[in-house]
Amino acid sequence: MDRGANWIGTMPTADLHTHSTASDGELAPAALVEKARALGLSTLALTDHDNTLGVAEARAAARLVNLEFIPGIEIEIDFEPGEFHLLGYGIDEAAPPLVEAVERLSHARLERNLAILDRIAKANLPLDLDSIEAFSKTSYLGRPHLADLFVEAHCARTRQEAFDRYLGKGKPFYIKKACLALEEALSVIDAAGGVSVLAHPYSLFVSKDVLGTIFSQLKAKGVRGIEAYHPTAKYGQCVILERMAHERGMFVTAGSDFHGKTRPECGLGRTSGNKPIDIRFRDELVAALESRI
């Protein structure tokens, strides 16, 4: 269904892809909810990387201000050539298979982080490695935090430059971390009562033809939706993704991928082309959640 360019309203009403301090976001879960409320959003999904530690706080804060809250997670999937992120919505964060998978991912992350830190130490770069003690060993530490260390040590001007020179795929301090296979992530989200959505499809880094084939394969495996609208893609490209998803009977979402000041291009409640996120995306997702068997 192509509604053209005018169907998005002028005011943001929802955000279905956000990060808090439980992963690499700037705002604590409750502060994120307050910001959403202040902007006039009626629905917020929290989708931290590889963990659900912020869900309880966000849920409680949302209840207080009468905001609809959708618990979520963004899981990294083993994939080449690009990055495959799978969003799980409407999950029960206490479901044992999800808890077990999240623990495993956290362990793999810790091992990978220690390996990168070891490599940095051996390279004798002037990074303040002690400052990461501020993150406990059990809490989330990601490459974006490590990138900040490069910036603080004046080895890079920005987070992005730190990725481009040191931490991105194929760069000297990149070390692959073990992540879930698609089938496993799907079964974990399913066991937690959730619905799976492919995040920002262009990060897969494949051509549009291949993308169409991948959408069909994902649908067959149980992925129900496509995040067609994301700030990293041009608006026209997002419209194409929406059409491709709907042609295959998949629903479509939109998100900001809000992280806070570190990604100023991703304002809360806004998506590709800085457009406010329309409530119909929330409606498509909620309809899918309600039709779960």
Cβ of residue 257: shortest distance to Fe ion, in angstroms?
Answer: 4
| Residue located via tokens 């059409």 | 243
DSSP state of 271: E
Compute, in degrees rounded to 10, the torsion defined by CA atoms 215, 217, 222, 225: 0
Residue 193 interface partner, choices ligand AMP, Fe ion, Zn ion, none, CB cut-off 5-8 Å depending on type: none
Q: Site residues for Zn ion, window 23-52 (CB under 5 A)?
A: 24
Which of ligand AMP, Fe ion, Zn ion, none does residue 257 bind (CB under 5 to 8 Å by kind)?
Answer: Fe ion
Could you say which of Fe ion, Zn ion, ligand AMP, none residue 270 binds, taking C-beta under 5 to 8 angstroms by partner kind? none
Quote the least distance from Cβ 47 to Zn ion, whole Å: 9
The region of 21-29, 51-59, 106-114, 237-245 touching Zn ion under the rule CB under 5 A is: 21-29
By beta-carbon proximity to Fe ion, the closer residue of 85 and 109 is 85
Phi, psi of 233 (to 5 degrees): -110, 150
Asked if 257 touches Fe ion (CB under 5 A), the answer is yes
Closest CB 151 distance from Fe ion, rounded Å:
20
Residue 275 interacts with which of Fe ion, ligand AMP, Zn ion, none, CB < 5 to 8 Å by class: none
Closest by CA to 143, choosing from 159, 158, 125, 127, is 159
Question: Mask of contacts with Fe ion, 193-222, x by CB under 5 A?
Answer: ------x-----------------------
* Total residue length of the chain: 293
Whole-number Å distance between alpha carbons of 25 and 262: 8
Q: In sequence order, what are the residues at sequence separation of 6 or more whose Cβ sits closer than 8 angstroms to the Cβ of residue 72? A: 16, 17, 45, 46, 47, 87, 88, 89, 90, 91, 194
Residue numbers at the binding site for ligand AMP (CB under 6 A): 49, 142-144, 160, 163, 168, 177
CB of 11 to ligand AMP, least distance (A): 28
Following DSSP, what letter does each residue of 186-253 receive, concatenated? HHHHHHTT-EEEE--GGGG---HHHHHHHHHHHHHHT--EEEEE-TTS-HHHHHHHHHHHHHTT-EEE
Residue sitting closest to Zn ion (CB): 24
Our CB check for ligand AMP shows the closer of 35 and 49 to be 49
Q: Phi and psi (nearest 5°) for 228?
A: -70, -30
Tokens describing residue 163:
């990725």
Minimum CB distance to ligand AMP smaller for 24 or for 190 = 24
Closest contact distance (angstroms) between CB of 13 and Zn ion is: 23
Residue number with CB closer to ligand AMP (89 or 163): 163
CA dist 34 and 67 (Å) reads: 9
Which residues are at the interface with Zn ion (CB under 5 A)?
19, 24
Which residues are at the interface with Fe ion (CB under 5 A)?
74, 85, 199, 257
